Structure 1
Amino acid sequence: MRTICWISCVMWLTTPLLSHAEPHKVEITFQNHQLSFKADGKLVTTYHAGPQVAKPYFWPILTPKGVPVTRAWPMEKGMKGETTDHVHQKSAWFCHGDVIAEGISSGKKIPHVEGIDFWSETPGHGKIVCVEIQSPTVKDNHGTVVTKNVWKTADGTPIMSELRTIHFQALDQGSLLIMESTLTADVTNITFGDTKEGAFGVRVSDAIAVKPGGGQFTNSLGNTGEASIWGKSASWCDYVGKVNNQTAGIAVLDHPKNPHPAYWHARGYGLMAANPFGREKSGFPGQKGKKDLVKLAKGQSLTVRYGIYAHDGDTNAAKVNEVYTQFSGK
């Protein structure tokens, strides 16, 4: 098997990230198809991977002060004034909106999708099925858990396997979740289609979103707002606002050794997604004229790594850039 990837760097597991002299205690527990991540006895997030979900997702995501930074709907319904658009944007997730599996029918055709849609959850969508969760481990105040997924068509035909490792660390101003995914074309040749609908994303709390909450998002280049960020490349994006009069935010980090840099499908209504697969057809300004789709021949693998940093305070107070620097191994 030939692998298209970079060698996994685990230096961050042995070097505390911007933490005080007394390390924070982390805990990962597994029960009923769910993983719970706690820091200093407080819930940070729950990873939902049961057979009923279209794809695994993290919800809720809480800062050290307990501020929820992602939207509760549709997992929790009936919250006063909360938006109910885009049912597929469940807090935080990883997938792609057009995965073309050579020789395998996608079933029901979804508009603007050539292959299988793992993003939208409209009729005929694919499903990322978690088939194994290994026992979590905690060492040197870092937690790690390995999971295995199978990407399937709507009728249950496997097209690709995934080894997904989640790392967890608590910091003074926030909590860092790192997802390392190795996608393997073990069934057939795979092409990641050219669409904006991908890939490692979060849907922030309405209170943090530009609309309706009055929040703001910033990228690693210092740009702010949708017009300056959407479809362009950056190392990270951070969404910040006030929830119950407390300033908090959530950042998504793109590792610099990922084989394909992220272009940001980030919107003022609260979506923020790092997309390594979109090209010219996606409409991304930063990919204009580019048509080199990401492909895996049967037997090949692709490894990517992304981070979520849920934090109290604004971008500067939470030291987002410093966290990114250590996350990236620079």
Structure 2
Amino acid sequence: MIRTLVGKPTAWPAFVLAASLGLGANTAWAAEVQAEVLPGAIVFKVGQEVVARYVTDKQYAKPFLYPLRAPCGAPVTRGWPVEKGLPGEVTTDHVHQKSVWFCHGDVIPEGIPLKILTTERGGRGVDFWSEARDKDGTPRHGRIVCVQVGKPQVVRPGHIRVETLNEWLTPEGTRILDEVRVIHFLDCPHGRLFVFDITLQAKVCPITFGDTKEGSFGIRVHDALRPSVAGGGTITTAEGKTITPPAKDNLPIWGHPAAWIDYSGKVGDKAVGVAVFDHPSNPPASWHVRAYGLNAANPFGRQRSGFPSQKGKTELLHLAKGVELKLRYGVYAHDGDAAAAQVAQVYELFRKL
């Protein structure tokens, strides 16, 4: 069954956005926002324009958001390996980095024996990050399977939400963790904001999140936005730090906390960018951020991950059976650079949601 709902214009929520972004109270900018549930995907639109698809097709190891477009229509995340040979794309590394996703590289189900362990050094659990396979093609990774998609709901005009249910499975198919993932879509004056409300539920067994850099809420930006090449993009953090091209992957911001990190540059002739937001209610993330285009907020890595901010910290995040962990992350696809798109102001809106 296909279900489409439309949030009418007049801006969401006008009084909050106007105050946050310095606009007049009667300012209107939002077109109709829509969410349509199709087999294997949820399609998000502004008017008739497809902004993003949230892919739930079980052929993939986990759900992801692709494509993701700025208001001008330019893509801000990499298409490969979902789409190959796109104009302006040259990289074919890290097959698991599909646009926008959430998972972790070492999830330990206490009391459940595992035949296949994560390939991460020192890991004791299931790898939901790397999508590694044996030489014969046997998967060594876990799968996050979307088992239910709810009806889209209009929260307010210009703000739509869809609730989904996921099961986290071992390589052998044993369920170890349940997840409620709610995707919110909001149209903003300079960009499109997706908010992911993630509730991890230890219904089956106690769960420990292992100490690895490979996690957790990640995006792979469009090749044109990576600062690893001359003429590439610029990275900007909430603390005002910037990385300009050409840059090497040993970034000074790697493994440190930040409220948000933004990549911006030109895709074709369009100035665009994309930011990831870490909500202050989350366990603080260290950022697994690379010049080649990975931008991931990781709340689980500790000393062994190598994150400088976690030096000397070894206590892992643990969920007793029956306990749940709530997380909130945002992705803001925008026109212009971080300043022009008012990323800092939009983060304040996100923070207050």
TM bucket, shorter chain? over 0.9
Is the deviation greater in 46-55 or in 312-321? 46-55
CA displacement at 1:40 relative to structure 2: 2.8
Q: Is 1:205 equivalent to 2:217 in the alignment?
A: no
Output one character per residue of 1:137-157: Cα deviation in whole Å (capped at 9) or x when no partner: 123210000000000001110
CA displacement at 1:246 relative to structure 2: 1.5
Q: 1:224 to 1:28 in 2, by over 3 A?
A: same
CA displacement at 1:236 relative to structure 2: 0.2
Q: Is 1:249 equivalent to 2:273 in the alignment?
A: yes
Measured in 2, the distance between the counterparts of 1:14 and 1:241 equals: 29
Output one character per residue of 1:141-196: Cα deviation in whole Å (capped at 9) or x when no partner: 10000000000001110001000001110111100000000000001110000001
CA displacement at 1:218 relative to structure 2: 1.2
Measured in 2, the distance between the counterparts of 1:311 and 1:51 equals: 30
1:58 match: secondary structure: strand
Name the residue aligned to 2:143. 127
Q: Is 1:88 equivalent to 2:112 in the alignment?
A: no
- The residue identity in structure 1 corresponding to 2:209 is F
CA contact (8 A) 2:72 2:270 kept: no
Output one character per residue of 1:103-127: Cα deviation in whole Å (capped at 9) or x when no partner: 2233223432320000000021000
Name the residue aligned to 1:3. none
Measured in 2, the distance between the counterparts of 1:14 and 1:170 equals: 11
Q: 1:13 to 1:262 in 2, by over 3 A?
A: farther
Residues paired across the two proteins, number: 318
- The residue identity in structure 1 corresponding to 2:324 is S
1:227 match: secondary structure: coil
For 2:286, which of 263, 271, 279 is the aligned residue? 263
Measured in 2, the distance between the counterparts of 1:281 and 1:195 equals: 7
For 1:171, which of 179, 183, 188 is the aligned residue? 188
Query: What aligned pairs does 1:134-213 form with structure 2 within 5 A after superposition?
Result: 134-138=150-154, 139-212=156-229
1:325 match: secondary structure: helix
Q: Is 1:285 equivalent to 2:308 in the alignment?
A: yes
CA displacement at 1:60 relative to structure 2: 0.6
- In percent, how many aligned pairs have the same letter? 51
Name the residue aligned to 1:103. 111
TM-score (norm 2): 0.87
CA contact (8 A) 1:24 1:171 kept: no
Name the residue aligned to 1:230. 254
- The residue identity in structure 2 corresponding to 1:197 is E
4+ residue runs over 3 A deviation? 12-16
Measured in 1, the distance between the counterparts of 2:269 and 2:173 equals: 46
CA contact (8 A) 1:162 1:181 kept: yes
CA displacement at 1:262 relative to structure 2: 1.1
CA displacement at 1:15 relative to structure 2: 5.1
Output one character per residue of 1:200-255: Cα deviation in whole Å (capped at 9) or x when no partner: 00000000001236111111001123623110001000011111122110000000
Name the residue aligned to 1:216. 234
CA contact (8 A) 1:14 1:140 kept: no
Name the residue aligned to 2:51. 44
Q: Is 1:324 equivalent to 2:347 in the alignment?
A: yes
Is the deviation greater in 232-241 or in 12-21? 12-21
Q: 1:304 to 1:61 in 2, by over 3 A?
A: same
CA RMSD in angstroms comes to 1.6
Name the residue aligned to 2:127. 117
CA contact (8 A) 2:116 2:126 kept: no
Name the residue aligned to 1:77. 84
2:108 match: secondary structure: strand
For 1:57, which of 48, 58, 64 is the aligned residue? 64
- The residue identity in structure 2 corresponding to 1:198 is G
CA displacement at 1:42 relative to structure 2: 1.1
1:228 match: secondary structure: coil
Is the deviation greater in 12-21 or in 131-140? 12-21
Is the deviation greater in 218-227 or in 137-146? 218-227
Measured in 1, the distance between the counterparts of 2:47 and 2:223 equals: 27
Mark the structure with the bigger radius of gyration: 2
- In the alignment, structure 2 segments of 5+ residues that lack a partner are 1-11, 134-139, 244-249
